[in-house]
Amino acid sequence: MDEIDKKLLNIMQEDFPISPEPYKELAKRLGLEEEEVMERIIAFKEKGLVRRIGGIFDPRGLGYQSTLVAVEVLPQNLKEAAERVSSYEEVTHNYQRNHRFNLWFTLIAPGQERMEEIITSVGDLPGVIRTMNLPCLRLFKIKTYFNMETMTNRDEITARRE
């Protein structure tokens, strides 16, 4: 990773341009061509340095509700259940846990009725023993920033939380 990569990663974390041509704007800031910026970002994704690029929205501010759902599912049905859960556009992500409730997912829907419909449907999947709805009572968002320019190696990361 060269110095330009580090600067690009820092900008992507805190000051990604919101414009019709964000990659062109990034290129201008870094003294590069737009194509080179895009190639670097593609390489970041291929190496697993960047998982996604996108905004983070407060669903409540947009009129939606969100919840975390824990699912107890038989191990032999876990993969199928996870695939079915992922098929709902209202599910942002799901993950396996080493616990009796071994499948967890976050759900964002336009109303309580739709959330209950999805949770009930998941509860009816093969091998599902039970579901547990864990609605958000208090919102916690921690912004983590990794200063790539002060990092000396992969094991030494300077993080700032706000």
The distance in angstroms from the start CA to the end CA of the chain is: 26
pLDDT tens-digit readout, 22-62: 999 999 999 999 999 999 999 999 998 888 887 777 788 88
* Alpha carbons 21 and 18: distance in angstroms, whole number: 8
Other Cβ atoms less than 10 A from the Cβ of 84: the count is 17
Second-level CATH architecture of 3-55? Orthogonal Bundle (1.10)
Q: Does domain 59-135 have CATH number 3.30.70.920?
A: yes
Confidence bin at 155 (pLDDT 50/70/90): very low
Statement: residue 154 has pLDDT above 70: no
Q: What is the mean pLDDT of the chain?
A: 88
In whole angstroms, give the CA distance from residue 25 to residue 54: 16
- The predicted pLDDT at position 160 comes to 47
What sections of 31-162 are H helices per DSSP? 34-47, 78-86, 112-123
Domain-by-domain residue ranges, the chain?
Answer: 3-55, 59-135
